[in-house]
Amino acid sequence: MLQSYFYVYSIMILEKGDFMNSVFLRLNNNEVNFVKDEKVNSLVNELKLKGILPIEDLKYIIENISISESRNLFKLADMVKNQYYGNKVYLRALIEVSNYCKQGCFYCGINRDNKSIKRYRLTEDEVFEAVKKAYDLGYRTFVLQGGDDPFLNDDIISSILVKIKTAFPQTRITLSLGEKTQASYDKLKLAGADRYLLRHETASFKHYMYLHPQDMLYDNRIKCLHYLRSSKYQVGTGMMIGSPYQTVDTLVSDLMFLYKFQPEMIGIGPFIHHHDTKFKDHSDGGLYETLIMISLARIIVPKALIPATTALGSIVEGGRELALKAGANVLMPNLGPEEQRELYKIYDNKITTSDSDIVFKNKLEKKLINEGHAVDYSVGDHIDLEGVKL
């Protein structure tokens, strides 16, 4: 099943010629598919044994892996995931609370300089209603994600957190609301937040500068991740694959960073251009490149919770399903109010569903079970935290 999936997609993608400009050199040309490189396979096996490899070896894997070796990597990553989490796929309800943003990330469609989009912000009641609806559908983790919206200050967010946790004490709340001070992170943790997603975006100082305006500092991003850790959150980080100016060295730095930081969650998705941004003419990240990085991340941080991201499902239909067979074990369906889902467009062609939440839920469950997964609606903490009082 897995084999045939990958075969069909390889052919489809090779025909589309999507491998242009990839730093994964052997995914770049058509001859690749069937030429084997045993050194890649043996390095990947060694990575699994040791947890990490020297920079040069990671670089070798990225530059020499072809579709053929990637299948071996995906299988290995799937085994590592199974070892800790079995065949469970954890479901989280994603609620996009605001698309106002004070930051100017060059890749992102809701950045402060985009004057052509309609901005929205959910009220406390709207957030609560969305959470309640998700709870009634069975979800026990709610991910409140938004732009870096100054209006959503600590008091406002805390009030929402308290309201949710009072009504639904046995649940988890994940925040994804950008860079804050240690004091703010502490306050929000105390009010009921359990987890925080803040992608590092790239572990290269220089690359970070190419992706962000001068008032956004790499050091602050990393500092925030350390704040979150010391405020006792389950911390998620991650990066886009195929972002403009990414190189094999920046990707290796990302892997090294993940190894050093050992985040509880890792979000990896392809870069997708947005027509209103400075990067509108840059090409999108590829499916295989992203799957390979997900698998490497799984092997390097074996116990991480790794989502199959919406971005991956947006570049190729079935992209998320492939990720769930290559090391990912989380899905985050959008359960915010339907009217606003269209407005949270961080990149072009972001997928949305026209199904109602209940129809979507039934279809999704059926599909996952068909593919050999167990659907899990529990709080789904990181394995080291299970049973620990948060």
Q: Is 24 in the site for ligand 5AD (CB under 6 A)?
A: no
Residue 147 Cβ vs ligand 5AD, minimum distance, rounded to whole Å: 9
Segment near ligand 5AD (CB under 6 A); pick from 116-124, 147-155, 266-274, 371-379: 266-274
Please, what sign has the CA dihedral across residues 123, 175, 172, 270? positive
Q: Is 222 in the site for ligand 5AD (CB under 6 A)?
A: no
d(CA 169, CA 338): 26
Q: Is 168 exposed, middle or buried (0-12, 13-18, 19+ CB in 10 A)?
A: middle
d(CA 56, CA 343): 43
Q: Is 257 in the site for ligand 5AD (CB under 6 A)?
A: no
d(CA 97, CA 365): 25
Reported in sequence order, the residue ranges of the chain that DSSP labels E, i.e. its strands, are 88-91, 93-98, 141-146, 172-176, 195-197, 234-241, 265-270, 330-331, 374-376
Residue with CB nearest ligand 5AD? 347
DSSP category for residue 30:
G
Which of 186/201 has CB closer to ligand 5AD?
A: 201
The SS3 assignment for 285 reads coil
Residue 284 Cβ vs ligand 5AD, minimum distance, rounded to whole Å: 8
Q: Could you say which residues in the range 331-390 bind ligand 5AD, by CB under 6 A? A: 346-347
Determine the size of the site formed for ligand 5AD (CB under 6 A). Answer: 12
Residue 333 Cβ vs ligand 5AD, minimum distance, rounded to whole Å: 16
Which of 274/325 has CB closer to ligand 5AD?
A: 274
Which of 121/163 has CB closer to ligand 5AD?
A: 121
Which of 267/380 has CB closer to ligand 5AD?
A: 267
Residue in 144, 203, 287, 311 binding ligand 5AD, rule: CB under 6 A:
311
Q: Are 97 and 336 in contact (CB under 8 A)?
A: yes
Cα(first)–Cα(last) distance of the chain, in Å?
40
Which of 44/211 has CB closer to ligand 5AD?
A: 211
Residue 49 burial (CB count, 10 A): 8
Residue 386 burial (CB count, 10 A): 10
Which of 101/157 has CB closer to ligand 5AD?
A: 101
Which of 39/280 has CB closer to ligand 5AD?
A: 280
Which of 53/216 has CB closer to ligand 5AD?
A: 216
Residues 6+ apart with CB under 8 A from 311: 240, 269, 270, 271, 272, 347, 350
Q: Is 269 in the site for ligand 5AD (CB under 6 A)?
A: yes
Q: Is 107 in the site for ligand 5AD (CB under 6 A)?
A: yes
Segment near ligand 5AD (CB under 6 A); pick from 12-20, 165-173, 270-278, 379-387: 270-278
Segment near ligand 5AD (CB under 6 A); pick from 3-11, 48-56, 258-266, 269-277: 269-277
d(CA 36, CA 2): 19
Which of 199/382 has CB closer to ligand 5AD?
A: 199
Q: Is 60 in the site for ligand 5AD (CB under 6 A)?
A: no
Residue in 61, 67, 93, 108 binding ligand 5AD, rule: CB under 6 A:
108
Which of 115/389 has CB closer to ligand 5AD?
A: 115
Segment near ligand 5AD (CB under 6 A); pick from 54-62, 78-86, 264-272, 291-299: 264-272
Amino acid at 335: L
Token digits of residue 240: 């886009």
DSSP category for residue 32:
G
- Which of 329, 324, 331, 317 lies closest to 8, judged by CA? 317
Q: Could you say which residues in the range 166-205 bind ligand 5AD, by CB under 6 A? A: 199, 201
d(CA 120, CA 130): 15
Footprint of ligand 5AD (CB under 6 A): 107-108, 199, 201, 240, 269, 271-272, 274, 311, 346-347
